[in-house]
Amino acid sequence: MFSKVLIANRGEIASRIIRTCKKMNIQSVAVYSEADQDAPFVKEADESYLIGKPRVNESYLNIEKILKAAKDSGAEAIHPGYGLLSEHGGFAEKVRESGLTFIGPSAEVISTMGDKIAARKHMEKAGVPVVPGTMESMADVEAAKEKAETFGYPVMLKAAAGGGGIGMQAVSTAEELEKAFEGNQKRAKTFFGNGDMFIEKLIVNPRHIEIQVLADEHGNAVYLFERECSIQRRHQKVIEEAPSPFLSEETRKKMGEAALKAVNALNYVNAGTMEFLVDEKENFYFLEMNTRLQVEHPVTEEITGIDLVEQQLRVAHGEKLSFTQEDLSINGHAIEARIYAEDPNTFYPSPGQLTKLKLPEGKGIRHELAVHKNSQVTPFYDPMIAKLVVHAPSREEAIEHMTKALHQYEIEGIKSNITMLKRVVTHEKFIAGDTTTSFVPDYYIPTVTNQ
């Protein structure tokens, strides 16, 4: 096994990876920006290296500085976490060219699946259902309007690169498409350096359900069931749970087998997630593949008992998976709530000093933290500061645990989305498992209070 691993990330995911490294007696190396010098993960790592100023392009996206830190520390491998460089094929390639192990799939697979148009083509060829849409990028709005007429409105306009809901907009008419095209194209170009756009038929009121996969370099692959990720704001997930309260056993198996088809077709190695849109009749369609660990991976760990970071490390070291599909089963129910430093009325970030942080405690409660009391939440990074995860024998009990835990969670000094989370998990639609990606705009009405 590796003796030392560098974590090319920050915040709660860096702390999460460090925790498993400690369990496996692997030395951990953190890299950090000036803004993160007092962050928990910097102190938790066995070694830490300052790599630049607060802005990500001067620190966490600076490949050469990260590789230099890896070389100086004597690290043998680099774990990219999620976000930042985790789905940057060029980074994965440079890591391997440097003689280090990249803890993830090949650079070629990362690049292929990072281009949503190329990914759609590969999935269709592999026999995985895809949403009807264009298989080529569209140069201008006129081409987009022509394609939209072919599929029929409403359609979803999407950027071919990137994620996080950037460059994505639902449109119902040609006029709306004309207004949306240029702005989204510019945003995609700014954020991802790629302004290519494509169109998909809009699946009305879908669920967002994803399948976790693991594969080794010896041809073994498994799926670790599904996560329900339909509670979203601005196309970004807020609450996730496993398993989905909606899927039948038959559809769960079909989706898992479809995910494994994709894994085999790509010769995929390491952890990954196949994301699907699922309609009210349980028809499912490929959305995208995340070639990395997911933010919401803890709910899968809680229901399966599998440490996904440990498996990533073992697979990257060349080991075979130590379990088969038949060994896996679902144990109880898990829910994750993302705690954001943001105004719960506008969803705008709320940077500042965290003057109070009191966490709920109890059986089945798990915390993933990027902060501590007196932390300075800066405007330079994603405003997610923590994740609250609960696990219980049943979904009903998990909801009860989550509700109680959210009411015990105390944050002062900044605004947070805890008010929103409490209202979601106590809503009759959520309790009934009747959630789609339109849940937040349909049922969440902001209030003027924070707690």
Is 423 an active-site residue?
no
Residue 450, pLDDT score: 44
User: Is it the case that residue 451 has pLDDT exceeding 70?
Assistant: no
Q: Choosing from 207, 292, 338, 395, which is the catalytic residue?
A: 292
**Cα–Cα distance, 80 to 189 (Å, whole number):** 24
Taking all residues of the chain, what is their mean pLDDT, rounded to a whole number?
94
Strand 352-353 relative to strand 376-377, pairing: antiparallel
Count of other CB atoms within 10 angstroms of residue 36: 27
User: Is it the case that residue 162 has pLDDT exceeding 80?
Assistant: no
**Cα–Cα distance, 204 to 136 (Å, whole number):** 23
pLDDT per position as a tens digit, 325-378:
999 999 999 999 999 999 999 999 999 999 999 999 999 999 999 999 999 999
3-state SS class at 325: helix
pLDDT per position as a tens digit, 121-161:
999 999 999 988 888 888 789 999 988 988 889 999 998 88
| Predicted TM-score of the model (pTM) | 0.91
pLDDT per position as a tens digit, 1-31:
999 999 999 999 999 999 999 999 999 999 9
pLDDT per position as a tens digit, 256-298:
999 999 999 999 999 999 999 999 999 999 999 999 999 999 9
**Cα–Cα distance, 427 to 70 (Å, whole number):** 47
Residue 166, pLDDT score: 83
User: Is it the case that residue 109 has pLDDT exceeding 90?
Assistant: yes
- Split at pLDDT 50, 70, 90, the class of 47 is very high
Region of poorest pLDDT, from 109-113, 182-186, 256-260, 435-439: 182-186
User: Is it the case that residue 449 has pLDDT exceeding 50?
Assistant: no
User: Looking at residues 181-208, what average pLDDT do you find?
Assistant: 89
pLDDT per position as a tens digit, 58-88:
999 999 999 999 999 999 999 999 999 999 9
Domains and CATH numbers, the chain: 4-103 (3.40.50.20), 132-201 (3.30.1490.20), 207-443 (3.30.470.20)
- CA-based nearest residue to 255, from 277, 236, 234: 277
Q: What percent of the chain has pLDDT over 90?
A: 85
Residue 139, pLDDT score: 77
**Cα–Cα distance, 213 to 223 (Å, whole number):** 4
- The residue among 309 and 133 whose pLDDT is bigger is 309
- Split at pLDDT 50, 70, 90, the class of 447 is low
Task: Please state whether the peptide bond connecting residue 243 to the residue before it is cis, i.e. omega within 30 degrees of 0.
Answer: yes
User: Is it the case that residue 237 has pLDDT exceeding 70?
Assistant: yes
Beta-carbon contacts of 68 under 8 Å, excluding residues fewer than 6 positions away, are none
**Cα–Cα distance, 112 to 107 (Å, whole number):** 9
pLDDT per position as a tens digit, 379-400:
999 999 999 999 999 999 999 9
Residue 234, pLDDT score: 84
- CA-based nearest residue to 37, from 49, 26, 24: 49
Enumerate the H helices of 115-267 as residue ranges: 116-126, 141-151, 174-192, 249-266
